[in-house]
Amino acid sequence: MLAVEGLHAHYGRAHILHGVSLTVAAGEVLCLLGRNGAGKSTTMKAIMGLVPPSAGTVRLEGGRLEGGRLEGRDLAGQPPHAIARAGLGYVPEERRIFTGLTVLENLEVGRRPARPGLAPWTPERLFALFPSLGGMRHRPAGRMSGGEQQMLTIARTLMGNPRLLLLDEPSEGLAPVVVERMAEAILALKAEGLSILLSEQNLAFAGAVGDRACILETGTPRQTLPMPALMRDAALRARYLSV
């Protein structure tokens, strides 16, 4: 579905990503794991074109993409809006909802045409997935709780009918009961056949939803393995993940 190869990225003169390669299969949840500063968020942003990659390729395969222009072609170096239109949906870590806009207006900003072969997302379908949003359609997003904002930001991205979702730390800063509901929502999306690249610090959360794990350290992928294997391997976790 998604194939990233040899991705490099810089912030100014600081070299952050040193050749990140990963693949996400159709319908799979790949977890990007690593300590703070390992390059998880930057990988997401580089794939999305928000931090222009200095080298490497990003390919989104399969199905017919909008207009077919970017099908199977390298997305690296394209502007973010073209990458979003090609079928990548980005959910930022900082949420970045439009606080002055209502819930419905936030969803409207994310709305893109339906993709052939995929049931298009509508506000009503999203309110079924995130019931708490349905009760506050006309509320300014600035007056919502952190958990509600996190759900809104995912719902907003889904309105673009993405083929693959980039989820950057969706559990960060949420109450345990909200984290549980978030995990349920992600599993529901996976059941719909959506592919997901998920970056996480919360290992329990990642273990509950992930199929495979890709471990990053200082901007380099160290190991990619099935999630259950990682959960069994305490030594590996201690080496790359524990603080």
Partner 1 sequence: MEALAVQALAGLASASSLFLVASGLTVIFGVSRIVNFAHGSLYMLGAYLAWTFVSHGPLAELGGFWGFWGGVLLAALCVGALGAALEMTVLRRIYHAPELFQLLATFALVLIVQDVALLLWGADDKFGPRAPLLRGAVEILGLRFPRYELFLIAVGPVVLGLLWLLFHRTRFGILLRAATQDREMVSALGVDQRLLFTAVFFLGAALAGLGGALQLPREAVTLHMDMAIIVEAFVVVVIGGLGSLPGAFLAALLIGELHAFGILVFPRITLVLVFLVMAVVLVLRPHGLLGAPPGAPPASEQAPPLPRPLPRGLRLATLGALAALLLAAPFLGDYPLILLADFAVFILFAASLHLIMGPGGMASFGHAAYFGAGAYAAGLLLRHLAAPMEMGLLLAPFAAGLVGLLFGWFCVRLSGVYAAMLTLAFAQIAWSVAFQWVEVTGGDNGLLGIWPSDWARGKLAFFYLSAALCGLGVWLLRRAIHAPFGLALRAQRDSALRAEAIGIDAFRIRWLAFAYAAAFAGLAGALFAFGKGSVFPTYLAIPRSVDALLMVLLGGVQTVSGPILGAIAYAGLQEQLARVTELWRLLLGLVILALVLFFPRGLAGALAQWGEKRA
Supply the minimum distance, in Å, between the C-beta of residue 17 and partner 1.
16
Supply the minimum distance, in Å, between the C-beta of residue 38 and partner 1.
19
Q: For residues 109 and 229, which CB has a smaller minimum distance to partner 1 in the complex?
A: 109
Q: For residues 89 and 210, which CB has a smaller minimum distance to partner 1 in the complex?
A: 89
Supply the minimum distance, in Å, between the C-beta of residue 136 and partner 1.
17
Q: At 206, which amino acid appears?
A: A
Query: Which residues in this chain contact partner 1 in the complex, by CB under 8 A?
Result: 12, 48, 50, 79-81, 84-85, 90, 92, 96, 98-101, 105-106, 108-112, 156-157, 160
Q: Is the dihedral of CA 193, 205, 207, 8 positive or negative?
A: positive
**How far is it, in rounded angstroms, from Cα 117 to Cα 44?**
26
| Token pair belonging to 62 | 């399969």
CA distances from 64 to 61, 72, 80, 97, 205 (A): 9, 10, 19, 29, 33
Strand order in the sheet with 164-168: 88-91, 164-168, 195-200, 29-33, 212-217, 220-226
Backbone angles phi, psi at 5, to 5 degrees: -135, 125
Supply the minimum distance, in Å, between the C-beta of residue 213 and partner 1.
25
> Closest Cα partner for 236 from 217, 219, 218?
217
Supply the minimum distance, in Å, between the C-beta of residue 163 and partner 1.
12
Q: For residues 109 and 204, which CB has a smaller minimum distance to partner 1 in the complex?
A: 109
Supply the minimum distance, in Å, between the C-beta of residue 2 and partner 1.
16
Q: Is the dihedral of CA 180, 183, 188, 189 positive or negative?
A: positive
Q: For residues 84 and 214, which CB has a smaller minimum distance to partner 1 in the complex?
A: 84
Supply the minimum distance, in Å, between the C-beta of residue 75 and partner 1.
13
**How far is it, in rounded angstroms, from Cα 155 to Cα 188?**
13
Kindly state the DSSP code that residue 121 receives in the 8-state scheme.
P
Q: For residues 133 and 166, which CB has a smaller minimum distance to partner 1 in the complex?
A: 166
The position carrying tokens 């730390």 is: 169
Q: For residues 163 and 212, which CB has a smaller minimum distance to partner 1 in the complex?
A: 163
